[in-house]
Chain A
Amino acid sequence: MSRPRRLVVSATLLLAAVAGTALLSLASKKSKYLPGQMDDQKRAMHALNRLTFGPRPGDVQRMMAMGVDKWIDLQLHPDRIDDKALDARLAQFRTLRMNTHELVEDFPPPQVIKAVMEGKEPLPSDPVKRAIYQAQIERLEQKQERKQEIAVANASAPNPAAANGADAAPAGAAPPPENQNRMSDEQLAQRREDRLYASLKTEELLNLPPDQRLKEVLKLSPEDQRALAASLKGPKADQFLEGMSPKDRETVIALNNPEQVINEELMQAKLLRTIYSDRQFEEVMTDFWFNHFNVFLNKGPDRYFVTSYERDVIRPHALGKFEDLLVATAKSPAMLFYLDNWLSVGPNSQVALGVPRYPVRPHRRYPPVAAQHGKGKGKRASSGLNENYGRELMELHTLGVNGGYSQHDVTEVARVFTGWTIEDPRKGGAFKYDDRMHDPGEKMVLGHRIKYSGEKEGMQVLHLLAHNPATAHFVCNKIAMRFVSDTPPPALVDRMAQTFLKKDGDIREVLKTMFKSPEFWSDQAYRAKVKTPLEFVVSSVRATNADVTDAMPLVRQLANMGMPLYGMQPPTGYSMLAGSWVNSSALLGRMNFSLALMSGRMKGVQVDAGQLVPAAAANAAAQPSDSQQTLAQLEATLLAGDISAQTHDAIVRRLDDPQVTQRKLDDPARPPNVPMIAGLILGSPEFQRR
């Protein structure tokens, strides 16, 4: 770089710096708030950072025009906010509007397929549904055949050693147990052939208009249908499905894997909601409560229960009374299955004691037999108390691990909830209270005597827990951790807990206490939280006004970043703390995501980088100073100017790098590389915070 140019750059830098500071000082009015409190613009930004999944271009200005307090009040009443634009985006996902029973019927799980195979249930008459069922039947038949072949192979293999444990000598090498996932060479060859045929057929079908493809697919044999559906992956799948109606698309995917349809629609909907809903705060609270009352999507039938769980249990109660939310989760098939309560049986219940369901003619020589472990056909074949829900209800949902309960309380609570079960869980049934599973007698929970009263006992315990001061404190602390900082001020949490107890667990009231508190608006809270992967990805998409046409690539990104949607296996839910998400893998993942997003390499997401810097686009004759201007504009748009001198300088130093400016030696007329600069900002330390 020649000397004069360097001088120009330094001068420009200086000017820009001075201009920048001048702008900032002009913008901040004399604060009408206490020292250590934020000014108006900061308040707007802070509110957006905390109550939404990230500001979009123009949000700060819009909010300042409306007034921050008014905006917060509006967000606290989501029913007053019109969300038609989001609804339009979600219209294509039919499963979102179906109840669990319908989901099971249209996208049958293995248990339903088995029932049909065994003749216990009829095949549906609707040709499309029928095709899905037949494809799955064929798949199950193949699986059973393979299992039989392996069993036969095992039977003829030499017996493993150590037949007699009393032998002192250590056993010699035993043959490894047959790996049930490994296929024979013959099967592998068959698989390859199937795949070849499937890809040829796909090519053929691509020549047809999209609305005719499904019809042709349905003409194939169930085996070929499934092979074709299974072979559709990645760009091939996108190509094949493009232009098809939502129902057709779902059918094609269901031919291979019915559950996949439900899960993918659920995950895509979640991302689209967090990105595009105008009821942003409601989405934030829905996410918060789902995490608090965590359910793991991939635990068996939960794959079918979670859609309704989020839609009918979590979201409607997200801003209501805590007890209502608690009861709704306690009765939800999703939670009952996830924490095993559906098969918990009281030790002295009728089921455990073998009391027959219907009166039997008494026989002198037929004494009642205590129930043994039933024949393992799944379902209600147990006679044991399961403490899982009892423990997590207190440890994770209400009192917290230090909330003052004992192991005895856990067992007693488990007894209280025996009988809270699901009608036919593997067929998508609803909550059912079964008194035959319920443990009779009195229970002692946290010093309270719970008289025997069937289902009412559970309601009583939930009421107790929902109004316990430990619960108030535990829940308010979690809320404060999400919205204020990783280590929320105890005084604030105390005041929130008081509101919780005084206002009957009214979540909205607790939130109001928090939003009106000086702690929430203190300078220390500004950008104090590190974004989780979800918050990072969504805020990037929102900050750049990107258009998401296919959310699945983003879903996969989140899985790579360690936060698969609905994918938290233990009931503790995802962490909200910085330490959990700041590590090398995560940081690299975020930097790479930022670059990919801005350079158009994130599939399914389109970013119009030009509209982020409107003035630059109009300026055809690019000058060296335009990169600086672009940078300043992007800093304002994406970060509201909250960029550190260090980050700013690091980017400025690169602005003359040809790679960044897209400028070649003799070609001074190229515009600044907006995507690259924006990518650098999204990957910067500042953007990782909210």
Chain B
Amino acid sequence: MAITRRVFLRNSALAVVGTTALPGFLARAAYGAAEPGSTNKRLVVLFQRGAADGLNIVVPHHEPAYYALRPTINIPRNKVLDLDGFFGLHPSLASFQPLWNQRQLAIVHAAGSPDPTRSHFDAQDYMESGTPGVKATDDGWLNRAAHTLPPSDEKSAFRAISMGPALPRILTGAEPAVAINNIRDFGVAGGNPKAAPIANTFEAMYDQSVDTVLHGTGKETFDAVKMLKSADPAKYTPARGADYPRGRFGDSLKQLAQLIKANLGVQIAFADIGGWDHHVNEGSTQGQIANVLQDFSQSISAFWIDLGELAEDTVVVTMSEFGRTARENGNRGTDHGHANVMFVLGGPVKGGKVYGRWPGLDPSQLYEGRDLALTTDFRCVLGEAVNRHLGNRDLTAVFPGFDNRANNFLGILG
């Protein structure tokens, strides 16, 4: 689908061709009815856990220092998928190329958290709480973003969801959020109608429990179960062309697409993918990083195709706790670093461009003489998404202690 809403409206001043030929949202726009997605702007956050190697993901192939610093694990110039003459994609990210060419995919390089920690645990904690350096924050920025959204008429139980067996830090907080491991199992006794009285008994127990921790979660859970049942996601086939790779990440995104398409009011979603901590034998065009990047990009592009027209209202942002050392180590791998790369994918994204200031890989330009230096705070990228896309006006609540003014935005979302 190459025609986007913006292109259409720009070029044809709402001329209606024939509603059957138009994708749904265009038809609705043409008839002047409010689009179902107008209060349902969606933000999807994907976390690469383990410190993904940004320099081998979006490769600065025009930077000679890159090749000097990584004699054995670099991506050769003739293997890189060139983006703009300076940067190129790792070949395993081939499925991102159409998204780049369609200008739906933007890249921010040398982005991340300013905190100097190189501990996975702490850095992930800071990125999820949205307050680098502060350990006392007990909720996550994504939860705060959901909590400070302009109120909508129906607050769906599925407004904020996380794919996986545990609710991550990023979504803990005052706003109810639901963790879904597997849609099929999301219910008491598999949704068997005979089990209804038992489900109801459990619901009553948790509803009235004075145990605040379990009561809160219990209530959210049963609200979500009921909503899911009414949407009847029993038999789901992804859209044509959406070929999800096998594996946990692909499966998470497939289920996420399913939930979004089931019209349950999903506005904020989270999923994560591990397997990035390549201290030893990282590989280059083949090997560990190539394999995980293939899973990563194919899952995301399948998700994008699967969403169909709902992609128009969706923005996906990727992040990782820190990057990796510019120089390869003695084990053909890389150690913990600093700045990293972020992808921003979406209908309203001004894609086809690498944002942020590139600091260079000369020894004098490296952070502490070893890592890619930081030029864009991750909160700037996320803040723009939360503000411009979700319409959240209260960024100081979402990212306390960070000066997140609109004129500091990179302009990824116009």
- Do A and B belong to a common assembly? yes
Pairwise interchain contact B217-A584, C-beta atoms closer than 8 A: yes
Interface residue ranges of B210-268 to A (CB < 8 Å):
210-211, 213-215, 217-218, 220-221, 224-225, 245-246
Q: Which of B118, B164, B205, B211 contacts A562 (CB 8 A)?
A: B164
Pairwise interchain contact B180-A585, C-beta atoms closer than 8 A: yes
Pairwise interchain contact B85-A562, C-beta atoms closer than 8 A: no
Pairwise interchain contact A162-B208, C-beta atoms closer than 8 A: no
- Chain B 170-207, CB within 8 Å of chain A: the 1/0 string? 00100000111110011111100011011011101110
Q: Which of A173, A340, A562, A644 contacts B210 (CB 8 A)?
A: A644
A591 to B221, CA, bound (A): 12
Q: Is A619 an interface residue (CB 8 A)?
A: no
Nearest CB of chain B from residue A391's CB, rounded to whole Å: 7
Pick from A8-16, A319-327, A380-388 the stretch touching chain B: A380-388
A582 to B164, CA, bound (A): 13
Q: CB-CB < 8 A to B274: which residues of A?
A: 569
A407 to B335, CA, bound (A): 13
Q: Is A164 an interface residue (CB 8 A)?
A: yes
Q: Is A641 an interface residue (CB 8 A)?
A: no
Interface residue ranges of A115-170 to B (CB < 8 Å):
160-168, 170
Q: CB-CB < 8 A to B338: which residues of A?
A: none
- Chain B 267-292, CB within 8 Å of chain A: the 1/0 string? 00000001000011100000000100
Q: CB-CB < 8 A to A173: which residues of B?
A: 97-98, 101
Interface residue ranges of B34-68 to A (CB < 8 Å):
49-50, 61-62
Q: Is A4 an interface residue (CB 8 A)?
A: no
Q: Which of A340, A401, A676 contacts B122 (CB 8 A)?
A: A401
Pairwise interchain contact B197-A657, C-beta atoms closer than 8 A: yes
Pairwise interchain contact B94-A176, C-beta atoms closer than 8 A: yes
Interface residue ranges of A583-628 to B (CB < 8 Å):
583-589, 591-592, 595
Instruction: Please give me the residue from chain A that is nearest to B163 by CB atom.
Output: A585
Q: CB-CB < 8 A to A470: which residues of B?
A: none
A195 to B169, CA, bound (A): 44
Pairwise interchain contact B187-A588, C-beta atoms closer than 8 A: yes
Beyond A170-B100, A171-B97, A584-B180, whether A654 also contacts B201 by CB under 8 A is: yes
Q: Which of A165, A384, A569, A644 contacts B331 (CB 8 A)?
A: A384
Instruction: Please give me the residue from chain B that is nearest to A679 by CB atom.
Output: B198
Beyond A584-B217, A595-B188, whether A386 also contacts B331 by CB under 8 A is: yes
A155 to B243, CA, bound (A): 25
Q: Which of A165, A345, A352, A657 contacts B88 (CB 8 A)?
A: A165
- Chain B 122-162, CB within 8 Å of chain A: the 1/0 string? 10000000000000000000000000000000000000001
A595 to B185, CA, bound (A): 14
Instruction: Please give me the residue from chain A that is nearest to B281 by CB atom.
Output: A376
Q: Is B294 an interface residue (CB 8 A)?
A: yes
Q: CB-CB < 8 A to B225: which residues of A?
A: 588
A579 to B165, CA, bound (A): 13
Q: Given contacts A161-B81, A165-B77, could you give 14 more A-B pairs where the C-beta distance is less than 8 Å?
A: A160-B79, A162-B80, A530-B213, A560-B185, A570-B121, A582-B214, A584-B180, A585-B182, A585-B186, A587-B206, A646-B210, A654-B197, A680-B198, A684-B205
Q: List 30 A-B contacts (CB under 8 A).
A: A160-B81, A161-B81, A162-B78, A162-B81, A171-B82, A175-B94, A179-B294, A382-B331, A384-B330, A386-B280, A387-B335, A388-B279, A530-B213, A560-B185, A572-B120, A583-B162, A584-B178, A584-B224, A585-B164, A587-B214, A591-B188, A646-B210, A650-B201, A653-B204, A654-B198, A659-B198, A680-B198, A683-B202, A685-B209, A688-B214
